[in-house]
Structure 1
Amino acid sequence: MAVRGAVDLGNRQRIGWHVLVGVVAVPVAVAIAADVKVALGQRMLALGTLAVIVAWYALVAPRAMEDGDERWGVAYFAALAVAFPLLLAIAPIAGALMFALCPQLFVMVARWRVRLPLLFLLYGELAWAMLARSGVDRYALAMTGASVLVPLTVTILVGGYLTGIREQNRKRAALIEELTETRAALERAGHEAGVHAERERLAAEIHDTLAQGFTSILMLAQAARTTVLRDPKATDDRLVVLERTARENLAEARSLIAALSPVDLTGRGLADALDRLAARHTRDTGTCVEVSVVGDRTSAPTGTDVALLRTAQEALANAGKHAAATTVRIELSHTDGVMALAVADDGRGFDPATVRGGYGLLGIRTRAVGLGGTCTVRSAPGEGTTVRVSLPAGGRTGPT
């Protein structure tokens, strides 16, 4: 995978292994060709054997490194075990190829139980070539032992160290891959949660503004129909109100699309917006709505003002549709860093425990909690209803 290739240095820079083969093979070829002590035919045989080894590397080694299948590596070194002693028998200088062969072994073969026999075989062939040329005596054995055992030990130690690094790289690559997948999953979950929250916000906004406006338009149209023949003047007045309500609803729709503040808050404070809302509700329904302000009349952050205005809109709509109230009182208070809005009506009341579904009270409560506030509803059959929302005056940004 892309992440694994980026982390594993051995796989990412295989070109280094090819350069190493060239750096070792070219000087060996030059040394063999320049050794006039060896017959020309033997030199040509040695050069041909070296060419076969390099060609075998070019054919098999890249696949063994890329596929990660050590069977290719075993096949590669099995053939070398045949060609390498032939080359050593003619040109002992070819022992320098071990500088390239040993690193390749640790790249192409993963298991130690396969590595070690191949490693011992190659160094054994090197020792045989040295003894075959110098003869067998104690000095030759000592020199051969020093020339073979020391590099063999160093090769095993360095190979083990490099193997450990590559294993750490593989684990790190797997961890990065897992973290990348987890991050992608979290991003998808966050996006889905954001979409869901935005959908809920829009549903509440539409319920509190457009749906209520259309309900008012419908009621006015029905009332106008009943008086169109017997009282044209009253019908005309209702049509004027209907047109005004439609325009206000259109303005709310445009404001919602543009993600702006409610129209009633544009250029006004919350107290003024509540006065405007109360006057409009009284005009449309005939229900008396009173507004009182306690404490500072200055506005809170926009999110707080919007939430409290939406609360008043929903409470008034419920009072008009369900409570059959004759009087509604809205009280806005701003004390001790808390903005509170209470909407009380003298309607028929209800049992809050029996309310299920809908966006009304649920939307009010969701807004309040989202801004770090509280929402309480007190009502009983025949005793009216009071909806109270308290929010931090400092505001905590959140969905409105």
Structure 2
Amino acid sequence: MAGRGTVDFGYRYRAGWHVLVGAVAIPLAVAIAADVTLALGQRLLALSTLAIIIAWYAVAAPQAMENRDERWGTAYFAALAVAFPLLLAIAPMSGVLMFALCPQLFVMIARWRVRLPLLLLLYAELAWAMLAPVGISRYTLTMAGVTVLVPMTVTILVGAYLTGIREQNRKRAALIEELTRTRAALERAGHEAGVHAERERLAAEIHDTLAQGFTSILMLTQAARTTLLRDTTAADNQLDILEKTARENLAEARSLIAARVPADLTGRSLADALDRLAARHTRDTGTHVDVSITGERTAAPTGTDIALLRTAQEALANITKHADATTVRIELHHDHGCTTLAVTDDGQGFDPATVQGGYGLDGIRTRATALDGTCTVRSAPGQGSTVRVELPTTPAEQATRSPCPAREPHPAPDDH
């Protein structure tokens, strides 16, 4: 019922109906009490009848208005159809109650097939009260027609208009309520999608940084264990590398927690970060990594550099785990507002069509797509592989989704 109260005029402003009844009934009671043309008994009977009508209103009106139960409204007006003519017979001035009764009728009863008969009955009683004392003649019929038919017609027209507005407001309120529920559902869905996207982002970041770092630590630990007894100097060097790798991994973890730029990019350019990444990979795995940078660098969003660095990290991690390569080359090319990163190895290669989904290549593709770029993988068994990502480097080009110009990667080195 509270929800209906926010949209139903009759419910929201029910106090106004009470004020209207009081504004009509109190002056009427005063006028009846002061009418010296009526005998004392008639005045008392009229006031008692008026009091009964007001009491009946106090009982039935709240039920009819607040619960929108037409049975209460019908019962209320059915009782009035008995009490009202009695009051009119004693005090004809009581016809002013129609100013309060007609609006109540349109609030308490919604169906016209119930409204109209009750309205006609009330006005017929009013006409009878006017004609009974003076008799029926052409003049009295004309006066009754002007006094009764005109107000009744206006009441019906105004009631129809108000009913239409009320129904329109009710439909509009229902639509607003539906839109509110839909918006709440969309907000929940958006929140869930945001949570899911953030989880996916963190999973990809952890896969490309911490997981790869732990893999390197595991490999270095195993290597140090095998050389610890026979060559303590070599083992000590491996432990130094192990410590550096652990520190680098810790720095990446702190960057992820603080949602900052990757440690390798902090205070450095993408080219410097790639050089550091190549040197670290060569140090940790023994696989030589060359870095080639061509073209003139233009301003690029930080997100572009992060995506390219993560692409290189993931490509090198995949090479370590699967390629069995001896040489790797990282090419970074700037041209026409686009940046192209290609990571090529001379390893055993693979069939890209058979690679299952995961956080590796799928993560690279997702990052590239999110920045309106492209990712292509070229490989074949025994022929090495190339992972190539092209990204627009300016916000304007990202906004307009301008494609990067095609550029073939340098052929993979051949050691077969």
Shorter-normalised TM-score: what interval? over 0.9
Aligned partners of 2:298 and 2:337 also within 8 Å:
no
Aligned partners of 1:341 and 1:389 also within 8 Å:
yes
The 1:386/1:5 distance shift into structure 2, 3 A limit, reads: same
Give 3-state SS (helix, strand or coil) of 2:332's partner. Answer: strand
Please state how far the C-alpha of 1:138 moved relative to its aligned partner. 2.1
Q: How does 1:181-196 map to 2 (within 5 A)?
A: 181-196=181-196
Q: Does 1:258 align with 2:258?
A: yes
Please state how far the C-alpha of 1:299 moved relative to its aligned partner. 5.3
Aligned to 1:359: 359
Q: Does 1:301 align with 2:301?
A: yes
Q: How does 1:50-61 map to 2 (within 5 A)?
A: 50-61=50-61
How large is the Cα RMSD of the aligned pairs?
1.2
Q: How does 1:131-280 map to 2 (within 5 A)?
A: 131-280=131-280
Give 3-state SS (helix, strand or coil) of 1:133's partner. Answer: coil
Q: How does 1:96-115 map to 2 (within 5 A)?
A: 96-115=96-115
Q: Percent identity?
A: 79
Please state how far the C-alpha of 1:10 moved relative to its aligned partner. 2.6
Aligned partners of 1:295 and 1:333 also within 8 Å:
yes
d(CA) in 2 for partners of 1:176, 1:318? 53
Q: How does 1:335-374 map to 2 (within 5 A)?
A: 335-374=335-374
Please state how far the C-alpha of 1:3 moved relative to its aligned partner. 5.8
Question: Cα deviation per residue 1:213-261 (whole Å; 9 max; x = unaligned)?
Answer: 0000011111111112111111111111111111111110110011111
Aligned partners of 1:338 and 1:393 also within 8 Å:
yes
Please state how far the C-alpha of 1:377 moved relative to its aligned partner. 0.5
Aligned to 1:282: 282
Aligned to 1:82: 82
d(CA) in 2 for partners of 1:52, 1:15? 20
Aligned residues: 397
Please state how far the C-alpha of 1:137 moved relative to its aligned partner. 2.1
d(CA) in 1 for partners of 2:30, 2:313? 95
Q: Which runs of 5+ in 2 are unaligned?
A: 400-416
Aligned letter for 1:144?
A: A
The 1:285/1:75 distance shift into structure 2, 3 A limit, reads: same
Give 3-state SS (helix, strand or coil) of 1:333's partner. Answer: strand
d(CA) in 1 for partners of 2:2, 2:61? 21
d(CA) in 2 for partners of 1:145, 1:138? 10
Q: Which 4+ stretches in 1 moved above 6 angstroms?
A: none
Which moves more between the two structures, 2-11 or 366-375?
2-11
Give 3-state SS (helix, strand or coil) of 2:88's partner. Answer: helix
d(CA) in 1 for partners of 2:5, 2:292? 70
Aligned partners of 2:217 and 2:245 also within 8 Å:
yes
Question: Cα deviation per residue 1:186-217 (whole Å; 9 max; x = unaligned)?
Answer: 11111111111111111110100000000000
Aligned letter for 1:24?
A: V
Aligned partners of 2:298 and 2:393 also within 8 Å:
no
Please state how far the C-alpha of 1:11 moved relative to its aligned partner. 2.2
Give 3-state SS (helix, strand or coil) of 2:121's partner. Answer: helix
d(CA) in 2 for partners of 1:4, 1:310? 56
d(CA) in 2 for partners of 1:265, 1:295? 20
Question: Cα deviation per residue 1:86-141 (whole Å; 9 max; x = unaligned)?
Answer: 11111001000000000000000010000011011111111111111222222222
Aligned letter for 1:107?
A: V
d(CA) in 1 for partners of 2:88, 2:20? 20
Aligned partners of 1:312 and 1:343 also within 8 Å:
yes
d(CA) in 2 for partners of 1:244, 1:299? 32
d(CA) in 2 for partners of 1:317, 1:370? 22
d(CA) in 1 for partners of 2:7, 2:125? 36
d(CA) in 2 for partners of 1:74, 1:267? 82
Q: Does 1:291 align with 2:291?
A: yes
Aligned to 2:117: 117
Please state how far the C-alpha of 1:62 moved relative to its aligned partner. 1.3
Give 3-state SS (helix, strand or coil) of 2:267's partner. Answer: coil
The 1:248/1:299 distance shift into structure 2, 3 A limit, reads: farther
Aligned to 2:13: 13
Give 3-state SS (helix, strand or coil) of 2:372's partner. Answer: coil
Aligned letter for 2:27?
A: P
Aligned to 1:321: 321
Aligned to 2:47: 47
d(CA) in 1 for partners of 2:9, 2:35? 38
d(CA) in 2 for partners of 1:173, 1:389? 52
Aligned partners of 2:224 and 2:235 also within 8 Å:
yes
Aligned partners of 1:270 and 1:299 also within 8 Å:
no
d(CA) in 2 for partners of 1:82, 1:96? 17
Aligned partners of 1:300 and 1:394 also within 8 Å:
yes
Q: Which structure has more RCO (C-alpha within 8 Å, separation ≥ 6)?
A: 1
Which moves more between the two structures, 37-46 or 4-13?
4-13
Give 3-state SS (helix, strand or coil) of 1:230's partner. Answer: coil
Give 3-state SS (helix, strand or coil) of 2:193's partner. Answer: helix
Please state how far the C-alpha of 1:301 moved relative to its aligned partner. 0.9
The alignment's TM-score, normalised by the length of structure 1, stands at: 0.97
The 1:298/1:238 distance shift into structure 2, 3 A limit, reads: farther
d(CA) in 2 for partners of 1:313, 1:235? 26
Aligned partners of 1:3 and 1:176 also within 8 Å:
no
Q: Which runs of 5+ in 1 are unaligned?
A: none
Aligned letter for 1:329?
A: R
Aligned partners of 2:377 and 2:385 also within 8 Å:
yes
d(CA) in 2 for partners of 1:297, 1:373? 17
